[in-house]
């Protein structure tokens, strides 16, 4: 399938699972739940003053952070504009003031842990623990602090309206590909915005408008591509499921950052996107730190490959003939990046 398709997006062709495929996914589900990282010996400790708990049906934002001050102010500002009022964060030994910043926010429940991100299954165990703490029977927005949720009409509609779209369609999660943002020039020339809470497209306005592939893989409908693939050949899966309804079957650990359990819910068209502020100011050094820690998938091999290419550094310019300037959620709908459930 073509992605994005500006003419007639084949949304009906996404996530069509045969009975045999559903059975195979159910068996895989059982195996992966059994192999999930153990929670034994992994503790979450509240840090600082905790805000009032959310209401029974209020959505909660889950995220982990390590040295996230380049994006935290804008990340919180954006999701507050969407109407979110409750955030739960795990700080993974930040050294840039992230923990103090988050502790001072009146709507963030901050936690620390006795283990690091890798020991917590890439943070997935922490996410399950947060769901247990804040309760099932509600929606969660599970993201990283450099990811910004965009859904159709999000400039004027609150998240609650989009959740109503999903529920009306009988969905318990929303697929959203990460679209890497990049600046209008070399990444090393990028300066922090005058307003730290400014939306990331203020200084990184471009994204790739082509060179994506889409297909059903072992645990999700997968979209691959973007500038890191185009320039460095890293076939990174861009699919995520940031919005999930936490019933008793939901589990992050045992699944993947790109597809929580149960797996059969991970085959669907994109109903949202995550604008990925991967190349915020200081990103070259951030890539080096991630590679050295080896805390990401496969020992941060994708980051190591990019750095080892010798073609990534302050002079890197991601622009090309099919770069698209971000304008609005509706423009992304028109370009075929996501489905609009309001038109269903």
pLDDT digits 0-9 by tens, 244-284: 999 999 999 999 999 999 999 999 999 999 999 999 888 88
93/117 Cα distance (integer angstroms): 9
* Average pLDDT of the segment spanning 51-76: 97
Q: So what's the pLDDT on residue 112?
A: 98
pLDDT, tens digit (0-9, with 9 covering 90-100), for 130-177: 999 999 999 999 999 999 999 999 999 999 999 999 999 999 999 999
What is the pLDDT averaged over residues 108-123? 96
Percent of the chain with pLDDT over 90: 81
- pLDDT tens sequence across 174-203: 999 999 999 999 999 999 999 999 999 999
pLDDT of 344 > 80? The answer is no
Residue 7 clears pLDDT 70, i.e. is over it: yes
- pLDDT band at residue 310 using 50, 70 and 90 as cut-offs: confident
Confidence class of residue 2 from pLDDT cuts 50, 70 and 90? confident
Domains of the chain: 36-343 (3.90.550)
Predicted local confidence at residue 295, as pLDDT: 65
Tally helices (H) and strands (E) across the chain: 9, 15
Total count of residues recorded for the chain: 344
Question: Which two three-digit tokens encode residue 152?
Answer: 């159709």
pLDDT tens, residue by residue, 80-113: 999 999 999 999 999 999 999 999 999 999 999 9
Contact 112, 99 (CB under 8 A): yes
Distances (CA, A) of 280 to 17, 71, 188: 38, 7, 10
Ordered DSSP codes for 268-319: S-BS-EEEE-TT-TTHHHHHHHHHHHT-SHHHHHHHHHHHHTS--STT----
The whole-number pLDDT of residue 298 equals 62
**pLDDT mean over 36-61:** 95
Q: How confident is the model at residue 291 (pLDDT cuts 50, 70, 90)?
A: confident
At what angle are helices 297-308 and 283-293 packed, to 10 degrees? Answer: 130
Residue 218 pLDDT: 87
How confident is the model over 43-70, as a mean pLDDT?
Answer: 96
Q: Of 273, 279, 255, give the one whose Cα is nearest residue 265.
A: 255
pLDDT of amino acid 235? 83
Residue 189: count other Cβ atoms within 10 Å of its Cβ. 12
The SS3 of residue 90 is strand
DSSP letter (8 states) at residue 217? -
Cα–Cα distance, 43 to 115 (Å, whole number) = 8
Give the predicted TM-score (pTM) of the model.
0.95
* CA 207/CA 211 separation, integer angstroms: 11
Nearest partner of 89 among 17, 104, 293, judged by Cα = 104
pLDDT at 283: 84
Q: What is the pLDDT of residue 9?
A: 84
pLDDT at residue 126, as a whole number: 98
pLDDT tens-digit readout, 192-242? 999 999 999 999 999 999 989 999 998 899 999 999 999 898 888 999 999
């Amino acid at each position: 399938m073509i992605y994005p398709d500006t003419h007639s997006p084949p949304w009906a062709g996404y996530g069509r699972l045969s009975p045999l495929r559903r059975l195979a996914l159910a068996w895989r589900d059982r195996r992966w739940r059994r192999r999930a990282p153990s929670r034994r010996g992994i503790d979450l400790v509240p840090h600082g003053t905790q805000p009032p708990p959310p209401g029974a049906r209020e959505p909660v934002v889950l995220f982990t952070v390590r040295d996230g001050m380049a994006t935290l102010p804008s990340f919180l500002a954006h999701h507050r504009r969407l109407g979110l009022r409750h955030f739960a964060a795990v700080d993974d030994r930040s050294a840039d003031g992230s923990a103090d910043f988050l502790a001072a926010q009146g709507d963030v429940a901050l936690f620390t842990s006795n283990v690091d991100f890798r020991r917590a299954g890439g943070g997935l165990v922490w996410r399950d623990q947060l769901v247990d703490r804040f309760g099932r029977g509600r929606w969660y927005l599970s993201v990283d602090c450099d990811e910004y949720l965009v859904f159709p009409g999000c400039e004027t509609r609150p998240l609650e309206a989009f959740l109503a779209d999903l529920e009306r369609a009988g969905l318990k999660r929303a697929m959203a590909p990460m679209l890497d943002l990049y600046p209008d020039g070399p990444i090393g020339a990028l300066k922090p915005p005058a307003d730290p809470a400014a939306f990331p497209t203020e200084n990184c306005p471009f994204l790739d408008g082509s060179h994506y592939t889409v297909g059903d893989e072992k645990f999700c409908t997968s979209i691959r591509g973007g500038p890191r693939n185009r320039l460095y050949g890293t076939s990174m899966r861009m699919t995520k499921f940031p919005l999930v309804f936490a019933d008793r079957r939901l589990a992050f650990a045992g699944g993947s950052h790109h597809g929580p359990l149960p797996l059969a819910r991970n085959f669907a068209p994109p109903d949202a996107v995550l604008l990925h502020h991967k190349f915020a100011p200081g990103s070259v050094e951030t890539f080096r730190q991630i590679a050295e820690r080896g805390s990401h998938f496969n020992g941060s091999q994708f980051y190591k490959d990019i750095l080892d290419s010798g073609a990534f550094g302050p002079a890197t310019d991601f622009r090309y003939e099919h770069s698209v300037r971000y304008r609005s959620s509706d423009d992304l709908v028109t370009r075929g990046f996501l489905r609009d459930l309001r038109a269903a």
